[in-house]
Amino acid sequence: MTIARRLCLALLVGLALLPTAARADVPFVNVFNSANVLQTGSSATLDQLQNQHWYLLINNGFDTKRFDSFANLSSPLAASQITVTGFSDGGLDPGPGIVISGLFSAAANTTTDTSLDFRVSVVTPGFLIHDIGLTAQGAVGAGGLITVTETATVNGTTPSVMTLQVPPPGTSVTQDMTLFTPVTSVNIHKDILTRGGTSSVTTLTDLRQRFSQVAIPEPSTMALAAFGALGFVGYGLRRRKARTA
For 30-82, write each residue's pLDDT tens digit. Answer: 999 999 999 877 899 999 999 999 999 999 888 899 999 999 999 999 999 99
CA 128/CA 216 separation, integer angstroms? 7
Calculate what percentage of the chain has a pLDDT beyond 70.
Answer: 78
DSSP assignment letter at 81? G
CA 69/CA 84 separation, integer angstroms? 13
**Confidence at residue 24, expressed as pLDDT on a 0 to 100 scale:** 42
Answer for the pair 144, 106: CB distance below 8 angstroms, yes or no. Answer: yes
The burial class, CB within 10 Å (0-12 / 13-18 / 19+), for 168 is middle
Instruction: Write down the pTM of the prediction.
Output: 0.79
**pLDDT digit string, tens, across residues 10-24:** 434 444 444 444 444
pLDDT(243) > 60? no
Is 243 strand, coil or helix?
helix
CA 79/CA 57 separation, integer angstroms? 20
Angle between helices 3-16 and 219-244 (to 10 degrees): 140
User: Is residue 93 very low, low, confident or very high in pLDDT (cuts 50, 70, 90)?
Assistant: confident
**Confidence at residue 219, expressed as pLDDT on a 0 to 100 scale:** 53
What's the one-letter identity of residue 13?
V
For 135, half-sphere exposure in the C-beta direction (CA atoms, 13 angstrom radius) is 10
Neighbours of 23 (CB within 10 A): 12
Answer for the pair 126, 215: CB distance below 8 angstroms, yes or no. Answer: yes
CA 86/CA 208 separation, integer angstroms? 10
**pLDDT digit string, tens, across residues 181-223:** 899 999 999 999 999 999 999 999 889 999 998 998 755 444 4
**pLDDT digit string, tens, across residues 113-135:** 999 999 999 999 999 999 999 99
**Confidence at residue 238, expressed as pLDDT on a 0 to 100 scale:** 54
pLDDT(107) > 50? yes
CA distances from 176 to 22, 130, 133, 142, 173 (A): 23, 10, 4, 26, 10
**Size (the chain), residues:** 245
Please give the residue that has the higher pLDDT: either 63 or 235. 63
